[in-house]
């Protein structure tokens, strides 16, 4: 990949367990990635199509190898993306930006460490977990809670769906995890968006639906903030595994089965580590001006302003 005309951008289409991304090299290209451009790139009918847009850039932190930014399909920028992190390190190596292994990446909440394993999977030290409501931006006023092992289950009444019992986990970005009897019949598409945009979550939230299969295995679906239900969610897998361990339902390591594939999560009581695949689908070039103009006139998804 080489520097091109200012508005012709090189990109790679990648996925981690089905969670798909457009990855852009901001080290060798001048990239001004706005919410509008992110939405146009992510549009599955008028753009390339992706759950998130990933921008690889020069670091600001002196101890980081690269800076790594994540934009949701709705154009909002978020703190962390585990599946994207694995694709990030694969992209950096494949594009010749660095041969370092492990790599340190700067995200907006700090540094993460990534390592390509001997089997080709990528492992990511995901950063410190937090469980207090303030870390998730959750307003608990007037709500009840119950102690579940080392965890706290918060009861959130939702009209038409009864009381939801949520575990709160922050891994840079916020998660609310609930245990369900059957992942296949769980109302992810109905209840997921209600939780994601519930007014008690100041910054919205990723809604996880977890079925415990045995003490080392769960099935998981996640309705992601700003992207909807995805085939896999790396931070969501970590949040669910950690919540299950704290509730006394699981033991580390935890195999997380999602619709797009499987991830392995280990937790030492502070920092979860995630291991799983990262795949390049294709590379290409795109005229950003033409794409954005087309999206403005044709795509119904482009009419709604992104939420932040």
CA atoms of 248 and 242, how far apart (whole Å): 10
Is 233 among the residues known to form the active site?
yes
**b/e sequence 80-90, b meaning 16+ C-beta within 10 Å:** bbbbbbbbbbb
CA atoms of 259 and 278, how far apart (whole Å): 15
Is 108 among the residues known to form the active site?
no
Q: Are the C-beta atoms of residues 273 and 265 closer than 8 Å to each other?
A: yes
Sign of the Cα pseudo-torsion (228, 233, 238, 244, in order): positive
Q: Are the C-beta atoms of residues 263 and 276 closer than 8 Å to each other?
A: yes
Query: Using alpha carbons only, how large is the chain's radius of gyration in Å?
Result: 19
Nearest to 13 by CA among 41, 37, 34, 35: 41
Tell how strand 228-230 and strand 217-224 pair up. antiparallel
CA atoms of 286 and 49, how far apart (whole Å): 13
**Among residues 81, 87, 108, 148, which one is catalytic?**
81
**Among residues 87, 108, 148, 233, which one is catalytic?**
233
Query: What residues are annotated to the active site?
Result: 81, 233
């Amino acid at each position: 990949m080489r520097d091109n005309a200012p508005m012709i951008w090189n990109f790679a289409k990648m996925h981690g367990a089905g969670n798909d991304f457009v990855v852009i090299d901001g080290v060798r290209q001048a990239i001004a990635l706005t919410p509008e451009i992110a939405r146009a790139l992510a549009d599955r009918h008028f753009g390339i199509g992706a759950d998130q847009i990933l921008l690889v850039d020069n670091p600001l932190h002196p101890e980081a190898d690269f800076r790594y930014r994540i934009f949701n399909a709705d154009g909002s920028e978020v703190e962390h993306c585990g599946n994207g992190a694995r694709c990030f390190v694969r992209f950096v190596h494949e594009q010749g930006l660095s041969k370092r292994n492990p790599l340190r990446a700067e995200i907006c909440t700090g540094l993460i460490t990534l390592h390509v394993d001997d089997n080709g999977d990528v492992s990511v030290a995901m950063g410190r977990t937090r469980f207090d409501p303030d870390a998730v931006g959750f307003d608990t006023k007037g709500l009840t809670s119950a102690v579940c092992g080392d965890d706290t289950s918060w009861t959130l009444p939702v009209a038409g769906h009864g009381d939801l019992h949520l575990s709160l986990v922050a891994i840079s970005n916020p998660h609310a995890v609930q245990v369900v009897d059957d992942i296949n019949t769980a109302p992810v598409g109905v209840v997921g968006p209600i939780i994601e945009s519930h007014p008690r979550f100041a910054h919205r939230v990723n809604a996880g639906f977890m079925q415990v299969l045995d003490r080392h295995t769960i099935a998981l679906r996640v309705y992601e903030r700003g992207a909807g239900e995805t085939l896999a969610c790396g931070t969501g897998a970590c949040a669910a595994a950690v919540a299950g361990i704290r509730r006394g339902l699981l033991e580390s390591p935890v195999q997380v089965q999602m619709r797009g594939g499987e991830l392995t999560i280990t937790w030492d009581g502070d920092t979860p580590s995630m291991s799983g695949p990262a795949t390049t689908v294709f590379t290409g070039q795109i005229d950003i001006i033409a794409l954005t103009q087309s999206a403005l006139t044709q795509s119904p998804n482009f009419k709604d302003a992104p939420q932040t």
